[in-house]
């Protein structure tokens, strides 16, 4: 069997070329598994994955916990290790998988923050639309809230990704999976206004031009969107995690609160499994009482 670093390199190449994982995801795997390999080499004096057993992996998790890492982070590190050993089994480099016997640490599930419906309109009206940047930011806010897309997905949108007639956005999500997301009239109005400000339209320009750009007409950087959206959200909400992702949480929460089917919300968000979407199924107490009274035979 090849050495640890060589196998890691082969595994990352497999994720990219055969599984179609994004650069961001592969980078996360690389970081996690580099830590694991360092632990094997330096702490356990292991130079071959055949020498790893479940006790080795548990020792590794113990070291991670000792460094003060959260259960969520340690669980993610273990998931990376499990993926690596699954690959080694599938490629017939190992006969036994030591990782399947190691349980993931329990994660305390916290509900995602979201913005109340009563203040969404205030948020949307925060940008100064008398300026070009303000119109762009309004279009970004409206599209985030109307579609629930990820920040990375919004950045990658081209003008041709938007179908203004059917009001659909074509999005490339995790694993390069494509999905179509409907959007509302407000988002359409502000995206069209933004394009007019750039002397463009959906019909008169190259479909491959980036939808959202900076002053130099280059694709807008993630850091710019994060900073500007965070500043707007701070005007209407309090908390630590007030970046663009809160608009994705808000999109899902408002759909669920208004009775949307969880499977439809899963598809709109681009989740692989329902378990990722179930965190949004919290219902306000007053609505729960109303549903109970309407649905239960003895609810009155």
Mean pLDDT of 55-72: 87
The pLDDT-based confidence of 25 (bands split at 50, 70, 90) is confident
- Assigned CATH topology for domain 4-101: DNA polymerase; domain 1 (1.10.150)
Q: Domain coordinates of the chain in residue numbers?
A: 4-101, 117-287
Mean pLDDT of 30-51: 92
Q: Can you point out the beta strands (E) in the chain?
A: 162-163, 168-172, 178-182
Per the model's pLDDT, the better-predicted residue between 266 and 238 turns out to be 266
Q: What are phi and psi of 117, to 5 degrees?
A: -55, -30
- Residues of the chain by 3-state class (helix, strand, coil), percent to 5: 60, 5, 35
pLDDT of residue 111: 56
- Per residue in 127-146, pLDDT tens? 999 999 999 999 999 999 99
Average pLDDT of the residues of the chain: 86
Mean pLDDT of 76-97: 92
Active site residues: 150, 174, 245, 248, 271, 280
Mean pLDDT of 188-199: 94
The CATH superfamily holding the domain 117-287 is: Intergrase catalytic core (1.10.443.10)
- Per residue in 67-79, pLDDT tens? 888 888 888 899 9
């Amino acid at each position: 069997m090849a050495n640890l670093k060589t196998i890691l390199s082969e595994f990352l190449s497999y994720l990219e070329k055969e599984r179609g994982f994004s650069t961001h995801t592969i980078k996360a795997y690389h970081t996690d598994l580099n830590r694991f390999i360092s632990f094997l080499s330096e702490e356990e004096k292991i130079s071959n994955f055949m020498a790893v057993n479940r006790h080795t992996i548990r020792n590794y998790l113990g070291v991670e916990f000792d460094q003060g890492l959260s259960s969520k982070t340690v669980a993610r590190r273990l998931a990376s290790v499990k993926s690596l050993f699954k690959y080694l089994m599938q490629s017939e480099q190992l006969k036994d998988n030591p990782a399947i016997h190691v349980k993931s640490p329990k994660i305390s599930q916290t509900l995602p923050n979201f913005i109340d419906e009563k203040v969404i309109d205030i948020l949307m009206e925060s940008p100064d639309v008398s300026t070009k940047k303000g119109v762009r930011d309004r279009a970004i806010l409206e599209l985030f809230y109307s579609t629930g897309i990820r920040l990375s997905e919004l950045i990658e949108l081209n003008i041709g990704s938007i179908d203004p007639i059917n009001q659909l956005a074509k999005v490339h999500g995790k694993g390069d999976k494509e999905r179509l997301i409907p959007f509302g009239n407000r988002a359409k109005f502000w995206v069209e206004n933004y394009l007019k400000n750039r002397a463009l339209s959906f019909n008169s320009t190259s479909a491959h031009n980036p939808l959202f750009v900076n002053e130099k007409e280059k694709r807008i950087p993630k850091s710019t969107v994060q900073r500007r959206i965070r500043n707007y959200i701070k005007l209407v909400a309090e908390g630590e995690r007030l970046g663009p992702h809160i608009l994705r949480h808000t999109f899902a929460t408002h759909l669920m609160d208004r009775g949307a089917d969880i499977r439809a919300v899963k598809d709109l968000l681009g989740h692989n499994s329902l378990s990722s979407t179930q965190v949004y199924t919290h219902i306000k107490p007053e609505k729960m009482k109303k549903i109970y009274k309407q649905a239960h035979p003895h609810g009155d």
